[in-house]
Amino acid sequence: MLNQNANRQGVNRHTRNRALTGRVFNIQRYSIHDGEGIRTLVFLKGCPLACLWCSNPESQKAGPELGFIRSACKGDDGCDAPCVAACPEDAITLNVEGIPIIDRERCTACGECVEPCLEDALKIVGKQMSVAQVMDEVEKDRPFYRRSGGGMTLGGGDPLMQHQFSRALLEEAQDAGIHTALETGAYLPWDDFEPLLHHLDQLYVDLKHRDDAQHRKLTGQSNTLILSNLSRLLAVMDPKDVVIRLPLIPGCNDSTENILESARFVAEQGYKQIELMPYHTFGVSKYPQYGMEYPLAELAPQSAEDLARLRQLVGRFGLTEISAQA
């Protein structure tokens, strides 16, 4: 009878999980980063932090958004602007060159303007998907997982913004024998965060800044909750399965003082692995697509000499440095 009840509960959980929905903005196949082996990256929409250097601006808001690719739009050159007529909110007008101007306050991201655009200059980012639909995509890469030891990685945004959906995805992947990983800023109350940890094989946590005041300036949020979670994580997970990442933003958090304080904190908590993430500008070109300006436009990546110096600082604490990803 006990076994029957347990089996019934497992079936009920599986059914509930498969029907649960969340907002996904990309599923990236055949990735060799963000976890062991070949990965399928599931990017979830929404983030509680507003990092000045965010490389996925389309991930920050929880709801769907309209993206406009200016380089794909012909404007007056052979286009009669069907997007303007298609918009039910009158949120699209044209400038003197016949290029659409989107009123982001009026736009509801309904998507009515997307199909009429013959140049694919307009797109909706953020699709409501069920756990079953996501897992169907993940399962397509199972042969690569078997050969490489890979699996599914949840990223974003931050998957913790949709922690119930994330937990359901992790449970389903784990039940299916698929390796699981998650990337996060760890900004979530422990009681909601802790249940996810039991369904993870690998965890990557960003530590943006050790000082609370500076963390607020850079991300819009205090680091108190993040540090508290980091102090509790190893009661659930093995240190070998957790990597603490330090994003290195020139003039923001790459000072000698912050790197030393961050590395000291990481080591004192019992973590063994750290990853220095050099600054890059890969996501800058996406900001105009969503009516946004990149706030750190004047920054340049660190030199090789600067990176070598920062690595030496981290090395003082006996931490294993994981190779930064391109």
Kindly report, residue by residue over 217-272, the tens digit of the pLDDT: 999 999 999 999 999 999 999 999 999 999 999 999 999 999 999 999 999 999 99
Looking at residue 326, what is its pLDDT? Answer: 39
Asked if residue 35 has pLDDT above 70, the reply is yes
Q: Are 30 and 144 within 8 A, CB to CB?
A: yes
Q: Note the pLDDT of residue 118.
A: 87
Tokens 């359901």 correspond to what residue? 168
Beta-sheet strands, E only, within the chain: 21-31, 39-44, 65-68, 92-94, 100-102, 122-125, 127-130, 151-155, 179-184, 202-206, 242-248, 273-278, 320-322
pLDDT tens-digit series, residues 149-196: 999 999 999 999 999 999 999 999 999 999 999 999 999 999 999 999
Confidence of residue 10 (pLDDT cuts 50, 70, 90): low
User: Domains in the chain, please, with CATH?
Assistant: 22-61+127-322 (3.20.20.70), 65-124 (3.30.70.20)
pLDDT number for residue 14: 81
What integer best gives the mean pLDDT of the chain? Answer: 94
